[in-house]
Amino acid sequence: MRHRFAFWKVGLVIAVVLAIVPAWLAGTASNTVPTTRAALITRPIRVNDLKPGQCAALTLTKLLIAAPTGTTNGSASSELILGGPGNQTINGKEGDDCIVGGGGADQVDGGSGTNVCIISQRSSFTGCQTVVRR
């Protein structure tokens, strides 16, 4: 009598598992992800995406990375000019420039136009309407 009772319990557990597992698998197989209107959008990084917040009022058109040492000259364009760690001379020339000096004792001349100069405490400047020392 004992063996029949134990087989009956085992048989019941197997029957329940065989009834539940296929139903659960069928439910998970029918899940679908609805179509969305999301798409992959790519766009190039523009110079205005790179400018610091202090230059937000300027519309820049060109990126110029200064030489490690010596003199770097801008142009008539409105530029983002990035200095390096050495002592440099950076001339913005014409246009509304955002000049970011490096860590050295730079000499920065914004030139004509509305210029924002972000420079180190050791740097000197002329022709900058806004100066930010860092």
Q: What pLDDT does 42 receive?
A: 85
Distance from chain centroid for Cα 38: 21
pLDDT at 30: 63
The average pLDDT across 46-72 equals 95
Q: Are 92 and 75 in contact (CB under 8 A)?
A: no
Residue 6: band (very low, low, confident or very high) from pLDDT cuts 50, 70, 90: low
Residue 55's pLDDT band (cuts 50, 70, 90): very high
Q: How far apart are CA 39 and CA 133, in angstroms?
A: 43
Which residues are registered as beta bridge partners of 51? none
- Name the average pLDDT for the chain: 87
Q: Which of 1-10, 34-43, 77-86, 88-97 has the lowest mean pLDDT?
A: 1-10
- Answer whether residue 28 shows pLDDT above 90: no
List CB contacts of 122: < 8 A, sequence separation 6 or more: 104, 105, 106
Contact 120, 134 (CB under 8 A): yes
